[in-house]
Amino acid sequence: MDSNQMSPRGDFSVKRNSDLYSAFVKKGVEESFQFLFQKRPDLLECEISEVGPDFPSFFGLMKMSGDQHEVISIIAFPKETLVGLAKGSFDVGDPVESKYLRECLGELSNIISGAIRGQLLAEGLKIPLCLPETSLGQQCLLDSTDLFLKLKFNLGTEPFHFYLTIRSTPPAIRKIS
Amino acid sequence: MDLSHFKILVVDDHAITRNLLRKSLSNLGVLTIVEASNGKEALQRLEKEAVNQSPFSIIFSDWQMPEMNGYEFLLAIRQRASYRDIPFIMVSAERDPAEIIKAIRSGANEFIVKPFSEEVLRQKIGYLIKTKQVA
C-alpha cells in the first residue's frame, strides 16, 4: 500500500492502517534525517506491538492531543547512535554535552511528528502540534494497552526505533527509575 | 542574486536548525546573520538593532517555540511601526493549511515547511526581491 492510499474515514487504528502509517512514518523519518544530518536511515522492520513500548533511555516524545484523539510518537536511540548524530551536527568532541543530545531529539521529534500530523490531517484527524519532550537516561514505560506501530531503522550503527499510536484517551507515562 | 548586503534574523529554539539556516543563507551569499532562540529574545535583538539604526532585511522564524512562539512574535512586530515592514518568513513543521493561512493573514510574507532545501530558501528570497518586498 502506498502513502496515497486513504484509511477508512474516522478509523485511525494503527493496526488496521499499519501499511499506510508505516509508509508515511518512513518518509517522515527519512526526510527529517536527510535535512538535519544529511543521512538516510534504512527501514529494517515494521511491526504492531501488543504492549506499550519499554524503550531505551534516550528519546524524544510528542503527545498531540485533539478533542477526540491523542497521537503519541516516540523516537528512541541507543546512546552511542545519538551521540554520533550530535557530534556530526555540532562538530563537538567527547564528552558531548546533554544540550546537544536534546537538540537532536527535540527537533527530530518536531519535524517527524509534523510530517505525520500533515498526513493524518489529510485523513481527517485534526490534532494540534505541540512542543516535544526529551529524556536522557530515564528509563520509561508507556503505561498503555494500546497497539503501537513500531519501526526499526538502521543508520550504520545500532538500530533506532520509532513508535506511533493513536488513541481516544490519553495514557500515562510511568517513570521506572 | 546578490545577498551580501542582507542582514537576516533567524529565530528558532533549536540550535541545530539555526545552524542549518545559517549555513544555507551563507551559501546563498548572506554575510550578516543574527540568531535568537525565541520570540522574546528576537524582539530584544530587533530593539538593539533599531537603536543602532541597522534594520534587518528579512526575519526567518520558527512557529513552535517556548517563551514566545513564532505566531506571537509575528503579531508583536506587525504592531510596531519600527518593524512592521520587515519581511517575515515562517519556517515550521506546521502543515495544517488552516494554520498556514492564519500566519499569512496575520502578516507573514511567506511560509516554509520543515524539512526544506536550500533551493526553497533561494526561491522564497528571490520572490521577495522580485516583488519588491525587500531590496
Question: Which tens digits make up the pLDDT trace of B70-105?
Answer: 999 999 999 998 899 999 999 999 999 999 999 999
Share of chain B above pLDDT 90, in %: 85
Q: Which tens digit of pLDDT belongs to each residue from A119-149? A: 898 888 888 888 888 888 776 666 667 788 9
Assign B41 to helix, strand or coil: helix
Provide ipTM, 2 decimals: 0.85
Interchain contact B54–A (C-beta under 8 A): no
Is pLDDT above 60 for B125?
Answer: yes
Q: What percent of chain A has pLDDT over 90?
A: 41
Interface with chain B: mutation pick from A34, A40, A98, A111, highest number of B CBs within 10 Å = A111
Looking at the predicted structure, is the pLDDT value of residue B11 above 90?
yes
Q: Picking from A16-25, A107-116, B20-29, B112-121, which range would have the lowest pLDDT averaged per residue?
A: A16-25
**CB–CB of B20 and A34 under 8 A?**
no
**Do residues A53 and A74 lie in contact, with contact meaning Cβ atoms separated by under 8 Å?**
yes
Residue A9 has pLDDT above 60, yes or no: no
Contact present, B25 and B33 (Cβ < 8 Å)? yes
- pLDDT above 80: residue A34: yes
CA distances in angstroms from A170 to A69, A78, A143, B90, listed in the order given: 8, 27, 10, 31
Is the minimum CB–CB distance between B15 and chain A shorter than 8 Å? yes
- Report how far residue B135's alpha carbon sits from residue B121's, in angstroms, rounded to the nearest whole number: 16
* Position with higher pLDDT, B50 vs A80: A80
Q: Which three cell numbers stand for residue A106?
A: 527535540
Grade residue A177 by pLDDT with cuts at 50, 70 and 90: low
H or E stretch covering A62: strand A58-65
B contacts of A130 (beta carbons < 8 Å): 64
Alpha carbon distance A91, A74 (integer Å): 26
pLDDT, mean of residues A25-46: 94
Q: Name chain A contacts of B114, Cβ cutoff 8 Å.
A: 35, 110-111, 114
User: A125: which 3 cell numbers?
Assistant: 484527524
**Cell numbers at B62, concatenated:** 520558527
Does residue A87 have a pLDDT over 70?
A: yes
pLDDT for residue B80? 92
Q: Which of A43-52, B53-62, B71-80, B82-91 is predicted least confidently?
A: A43-52
Residue A143: its pLDDT value, please? 65
Task: Specify the DSSP element, H or E, that contains A149.
Answer: strand A148-154
CA of B130, closest CA in chain A: separation in Å?
A: 27
Q: How far apart are CA B43 and CA B96, in angstroms?
A: 26
Residue B64 in this model has a pLDDT that exceeds 50: yes
Instruction: Tell whether B23 lies on the interface with A, counting CB pairs under 8 A.
Output: no
- Residue A10 confidence (pLDDT): 58
CA-based max dimension of chain A: 50
Average pLDDT value for residue range A8-29: 82
In single-letter form, the type of residue at position A109 comes to S
Please tell me the distance from the alpha carbon of residue A43 to that of residue A62, in angstroms, as a whole number: 21
